[in-house]
Homo-oligomer: A and B are copies of this chain.
Amino acid sequence: MEIRNVISSDYNVISPLINEWWGGRQMSDMLPKLFFVHFNNTSFIAEIDGEIVGFLIGFLSQSDTDVAYIHFVGVNPEYRKKLIGKQLYNEFFNEVIKNNRNVVRAVTSPVNKVSIAYHTKMGFNIDNGDKVVDGVSVFSDYDGPNQDRVLFVKRID
The 9 A-B residue pairs with the shortest CB-CB distance, nearest first, are A15-B144, A40-B63, A38-B61, A29-B29, A39-B62, A28-B144, A32-B143, A33-B143, A38-B63
Q: Which residues of A contact B (CB under 8 A)?
A: 11-12, 15-16, 28-30, 32-34, 37-42, 59-64, 67, 69, 71, 107, 141-145, 149
25 CB-based A-B contacts, threshold 8 Å: A12-B141, A15-B144, A15-B145, A16-B144, A16-B145, A28-B144, A29-B29, A29-B30, A30-B32, A32-B107, A33-B107, A34-B69, A34-B71, A34-B107, A37-B61, A37-B63, A38-B61, A38-B64, A38-B67, A39-B62, A40-B62, A40-B63, A41-B62, A41-B63, A42-B62
